[in-house]
Chain A
Amino acid sequence: MKEKIIEIRKLWFKYENMFVLKDINLDIYKGETIAILGENGAGKTTLIKHFNGLLKPTLGYVKVFGKDVRESSVAELARKVGMVFQNPDHQLFAETVWEEVAFALKNFGYSKKIIEKRVKWALEIMGLIQYSNNSPFSLSDGERKRLSIASILCYDPDIIIFDEPTVGQDFYQKERLAEILKLLATRGKTIIVVTHDIEFIVGRFNRIIVISKGKVIADGLASKILTNIELLRKANLYPPQLIYANYLFNEKKNISYIETPREFVKIILRRVYEPKSL
């Protein structure tokens, strides 16, 4: 049995006289890689803001490492729960890249020696060490995104949440991001990604939570949820192209979970060359 690190029970959240989250019940375990899917305005970002205490539940409770978020400050929770915001321009302010990464460490009161070690480590992982003395604003879009990740990574939180990490990123940057996520997962971090980029999710996350109109409408293995076309439609999401193409190719009879184009081609070729075996 894995350690339960986030526990949400009967969470309701009210914003401007409207319930944005309705009766959310979730358990998140250590080391999971989770994608939270949902259309715009479904309540995804509102939900994750409860994990580090930026928002407090109207009804019900959210416990992080066994402690109610209402009883801890954001700064306390932020040590364990790192959150990478969608737009890096909402947080970059320091004169140099190095200072930018050191900001959180200084806030948490680490010693100078540890700060130096950690900043160097985070910048090396993100491939930004050569820009240490440059201004954060001189970096490209992808580099700024990586810098915002480094500024969270540096203090080594157990849970790392990414809010819409793929928005505005090109293919190369997305691949790079995927590598970073993989690396973090192998280091035993719990990763939660909020997105509506369904293609990015395929083959990269073991658990998927679908949110629609403030409710969790599905929670389970990626292979189960990404092949449930009806469910995805309900949340205004389009199924992954390979899975949908294979579904159409099978005359809508049989739907299977495909992660890579190679797998897809294999299935198609087998069908073409050995029609009787299917």
Chain B
Amino acid sequence: MSLKVFEGLKFEKKNTVIHRLDARTKGLYVISTMIIAVIFTDIVPLLLLLIICFVLAVMAKVVSEWIKTMKGIAIFALIIFILNFITITENRINQSIAMFLRFLVLSASFSIFFLTTSPDDFSQALLKMGIPYEYTLMLTIALRFVPTLARDIQTIIDAQRSRGLELEKGNIMKKIKNYIPILIPLIIYEIRRSIMIAEALESRAFGAEVKRTNLYETKLSLIDYASILIIFIFTILIIYLHYLHILPSIFYLKLPEI
């Protein structure tokens, strides 16, 4: 099982410019990347977005983790490429590569966000944006439990393999059936764990009527304001130029079709 994909979501504290940026700034970067990636169906701009992602990964010193995620995602991207290639009739190669790149760009920017933003900062940012605490906590817990879940899955797989279960045996239907002894203990175990978490939260006065206070208040720094301004201007400019068709022609460069 390729649990390596999840490593791209594992936050590790590091002291870099990117890590110090506010979650809202990084969130804006992800959203603007998404908007641009959806607007363009050309290879060059998507490639540029991917390069920007890579530069950010280098700046944040998370290149190896980032590449691991990309490797894990590559298989899905490949499936998207193949499906597009089969179904599209005109402009096949350009379209399929663009779709492939679009998926990579989206997951790459998300990966950068989660690699450099602590779950606490993330929930703080959501709180500041007016989302109720119950929901932000739900998200924090979900993120926090991804590695724990991965470890549980590994233990269960080990336990069942020790009883002679061979996951790779048989045809495709048999292979799916092979996962039943993994999934049932996992679901039951995690439901039990969630009940335990709920009890632990309630015993620490979760859901009290009083208004919550925060120990740390995140504030936007000067670099944050500057970054937000740059991202904003850049995104608006690109979209504006794209719709006026006055972007340099290199942006719309196409590969020859077969």
Contact = CB atoms under 8 A, between A and B. Distances in A.
Interface of A: 49, 52, 54, 73-75, 78-79, 82-83, 85, 87, 89-93, 103-104, 107-108, 137, 151-152, 155
Given A85-B158, A92-B185, 5 more contacts: A90-B155, A103-B181, A104-B163, A108-B164, A152-B163
Contacts of B181: 91, 93, 103
A78 B164 CA distance: 6
B180 A93 contact: yes
A221 B145 CA distance: 43
Interface residues of B, number: 19
Contacts of A89: 185, 188-189, 192
B166 A83 contact: no
Given A89-B189, A89-B192, A137-B188, A54 B164 contact: no
Select the residue from B159, B163, B188 with max chain A CB neighbours within 10 A: B163
Select the residue from A73, A92, A107, A155 with max chain B CB neighbours within 10 A: A107
Given A85-B155, A90-B155, A90-B189, A75 B160 contact: no
Contacts of A152: 162-163
Interface string B175-207: 000001100110011001000000000000000
Nearest to B165: A107
Interface in B118-168: 152, 155-156, 158-166
B185 A74 contact: no
A78 B162 contact: yes
A54 B189 contact: no
Given A89-B189, A90-B156, A151 B163 contact: yes
B156 A107 contact: no
B189 A107 contact: no
Nearest to A161: B162
B191 to A, nearest CB: 11
Contacts of A52: 162
Which 10 residue pairs across A and B have the least CB separation, nearest first? A107-B164, A93-B184, A91-B159, A104-B163, A83-B162, A85-B159, A74-B161, A90-B159, A93-B181, A75-B164
Nearest to A92: B185
A91 B156 contact: yes
A78 B192 contact: no
A100 to B, nearest CB: 10
Given A90-B155, A90-B156, A91-B156, A74 B162 contact: yes
Contact of B164 (A79, A85, A87, A90): A79
A90 B157 CA distance: 9
Contact of A54 (B152, B161, B180, B185): B161
B185 A93 contact: yes
B40 to A, nearest CB: 39
A103 B163 contact: yes
B13 to A, nearest CB: 17
Contacts of B161: 54, 74-75, 78
Interface in B72-102: none
Nearest to B183: A93
Contacts of B185: 89-93
A25 to B, nearest CB: 25
Interface string B215-253: 000000000000000000000000000000000000000
A111 to B, nearest CB: 15
6 contacts: A75-B161, A75-B166, A78-B164, A85-B159, A91-B185, A151-B163
Contacts of B155: 85, 87, 90
Contacts of A87: 155
Contacts of B166: 73, 75, 107
